[in-house]
Structure 1
Amino acid sequence: MKTNRKVEMTDRRCDKLDGPDASSAAKEIEYSDVRVPRLKLMVSRSGRRTWYWRYVWRNAKEVIRIGEFPGINVEQARRIAMEYGAQVDQGIDPKGEKKARMTMPTLEEFALNQYLPYAFVHKRSADDDAAKLRMYILPKMGKKLLCDITRHDVDMHRTAILKTHSKSTANRHHALIARMLALAVEWDILKLNPVVGLRKFRETADRGRYLAPEEIAKLLKALDSDDNVVGAAALKVLLFTGCRREEIAQARWENLDVERGLLKLPKTKSGKVRWVPLSPQAQEVIANLPDIQSEWIFPGRDPSRPINNLYKPFHRALRLAGIETAQDGKTGGGVRIHDLRHSFASNAVTAGLSLYTVQALLGHSTPTMTQRYAAFAGNTLHDAVALAAKTMLGAVEPVEA
């Protein structure tokens, strides 16, 4: 009996192929598919049927197991064999690729075991990354192997985020996934980053929502009654200083100069160290904080870590004050935490402070970002332009006829 036969494979025919008889020295018979080169079906003496594909890699004969029939039928075996053939044509060893897949982590495994431990050491906004992963990204894509995540997957995820969030939030999800995949390439886990070349959504200029003085008074009163005393205090300091949320959330006692009323920000958005002058109101808030043994001025429930979630006390206070909220990062008429910074700046300009001074208070590296508050100067700018015009006209000599 021959041990290698060519067959026009069909599921019905494969089911009836014979293995070696009891008197044969062969342990199995190899049948070759006439349609797909080097696709083999091995039939053992016990009747077990297993698909294999033979190929040549770097002048050496290789064989890779596809799986058992009928779990993998003829059409599936042919498709897999042709995919292996395409890999060889592209200079990829399918056996090495299969082995790599067996050790490839899922997105969830990579995020929890490698990315987040790295991010908490190197990135100030690691808490935000952890929240995005836990609440949105991992429930959708966490079980996918890292190598199976496609540009389409990322595009569909950020498009879904866009239905309930702003373009800037969708872009931050895009950036987080792209950064994770880029690190996987750097760490020799992936060969290519599929997100490279995927353009972010074009964001429209967001001037934010500015709280009027009467709204600020209502908000402060609402914060006074909130059960989260530390969170409410952090929100007040944000309003009284114009700092960014993370700058205050990450503030440490060692960086507070009580005598001079200054707070040192060792890590800012620009990457530069900055000293923030604290108003008497901000100093009073900090002085009245509950006595909690922590290195952080505003500790979280776990005193060994800084406060993370200011959204809950903020939204509670807004509702109590009768001010519309902007939930989940959506833009519009509602108020967001970052709008406390906008409100500080707009009121500072309205009070007569120069844009240059406001730029320094906000820590803007260029006047471009500060320029958005020029419209709030009101009569100050009108008086200035009138003075400039008067001076200019007074300096012009009348023209003789």
Structure 2
Amino acid sequence: MDRFFEETSLRAGTIETYRYTSRVVSRLIGHLHLDEIDKRNLAGFISTRKRTSVTDATIKRDLAFVGSIFTAAKQWGWADTSPVTALDTKALKESRPRTRFLTREDFDRLHRFASADLKPILVIAVETGLRKEELLSLTITSVDLQRREIHLSTTKAGRPRRVPLSPLAAQTIRGLLERARPRSPYLFCKADGSRIG
């Protein structure tokens, strides 16, 4: 696993998830050598995870990590096959994605009770659909008010994209930029100009 994390070129978010998963894998099957991990051990791994009320989707992600480890081990000449590919995971159901939208009443109530610093963040979040990391890492130079769009160079998918600004989003950003603010490259920043976490 150490070598895998040193040499992998996966996206940062995937690596972060895999690092967490690696602790679980180490605890449950980390005492085994690669050639000792087989379908039977993995079936035991799945049973143990199910007994601790872990969802099937999480178990599938755990197995995807183990599969990635074996793919790397095969490239290094440390393993001939991956026991994960021989495993039947059809019984593991993917959970249906949760889709939750705020109603206008929910948003109005949330906005009314939010702090002054949080209010514009909430408006931009709802108006653009940006992810939290995209939103909080927004720089002033990434906003083009003339074209009414935001240019994102770093995204979860690893590809740049443009996000249109609604009239309310553009108005909110204009208001942020026109008021007295610390010197900061970030659109949303603390009093000392550092990024909001």
TM-score after normalising by structure 2: 0.65
For 1:263 and 1:195, how far apart are their aligned partners in 2? 40
Q: Deviation per CA, 1:216-248: give whole Å up to 9, x if none.
A: 3444566649xxx89x997875444223456x2
Q: How far apart in 1 are the matches of 2:21 and 2:121? A: 22
CA distance 1:210–1:140, change in 2 (3 Å) = same
Give 1 or 2: higher strand fraction. 1
Size of the alignment, in residue pairs?
176
SS in 2 for 1:206: coil
Give percent identity, aligned residues only. Answer: 17
Q: 1:257 aligns with which of 143, 148, 161?
A: 143
Residue 147 of structure 1: how far off its partner (Å): 2.5
Structure ranking higher on relative contact order (CA contacts 8 Å, 6+ apart): 2
Query: Of 129, 133, 155, which residue of structure 2 is paired with 1:242?
Result: 129
Partner-residue secondary structure (3-state), 1:287: coil
CA deviation after TM superposition for structure 1 residue 187, in Å = 1.5
Q: Distance in 2 between matches of 1:147 and 1:235?
A: 51
2:24 matched to 1:129? no
Report Cα offsets for 1:69-112 as digits up to 9, x if no partner.
xxxxxxxxxxxxxxxxxxxxxxxxxxxxxxxxxxxxxxxxxx2x
Aligned-partner SS, 1:143: coil
Kindly indicate whether residue 54 of structure 2 is the aligned counterpart of residue 154 of structure 1.
no
Secondary structure of the 2:105 match is: helix
Q: Please give the secondary structure, in 1, of the residue aligned with 2:162.
A: strand
Alignment of 1:309-328 (within 5 A): none
- Is residue 210 of structure 1 aligned with residue 110 of structure 2? no
User: Gaps (5+ residues) in structure 2?
Assistant: 178-185
SS where residue 77 of structure 2 aligns?
A: coil
- Cα RMSD, aligned residues only: 3.8
In structure 2, what is the equivalent of residue 289 of structure 1? Answer: 189
Q: SS where residue 138 of structure 1 aligns?
A: helix
Deviation at 1:262, TM superposition (A): 0.7
Over 3 Å counting, the alpha-carbon distance change for 1:256 and 1:207 in structure 2 is same
Cα 1:197/1:133, change in 2 over 3 Å: same
Where 1:164 maps in the other structure, the secondary structure is: coil
- Once residues 122 and 288 of structure 1 are traced to their aligned partners in structure 2, the CA distance between those partners, rounded to angstroms, is 29
Describe the shift of the 1:224–1:129 C-alpha distance in structure 2 as closer, same or farther (beyond 3 A).
farther
Three-state SS of the structure 2 residue aligned to 1:208 is: coil
1:287 maps to a residue whose letter is L
Provide closer, same or farther for how the CA distance between residues 264 and 182 of structure 1 changes in structure 2, counting only shifts above 3 A. same
Partner in structure 2 of residue 114 of structure 1: 3
Q: In the alignment, what sits opposite 1:174?
A: 63
The CA deviation at 1:164 is 2.8
Amino acid at match of 2:162: W
Structure 1 residues 272 and 139: alpha-carbon distance in aligned structure 2, compared to 1, 3 A threshold: same
- Of 267, 275, 286, 2:162 maps to 275
Cα distance, 1:208 vs structure 2: 2.7
**Separation of aligned partners in 2, 1:204 and 1:190:** 32
Change (3 A) 1:275 1:183: same
Q: Distance in 1 between matches of 2:142 and 2:122?
A: 17
Give the match's secondary structure for 1:275: strand
Distance in 2 separating the partners of 1:167 and 1:281: 44
Q: TM-score, normalised by structure 1?
A: 0.36
Bigger radius of gyration among the two = 1
Find the aligned partners of 1:249 and 1:224 in 2 and give their Cα distance: 17
Distance 1:188 1:266, change over 3 A: same
Aligned pair partner of 1:197 in 58, 61, 86 = 86
Q: Is the 8 A contact 1:182 1:193 kept in 2?
A: yes
What is the Cα deviation at residue 161 of structure 1? 3.5
1:186 aligns with 2:86: no
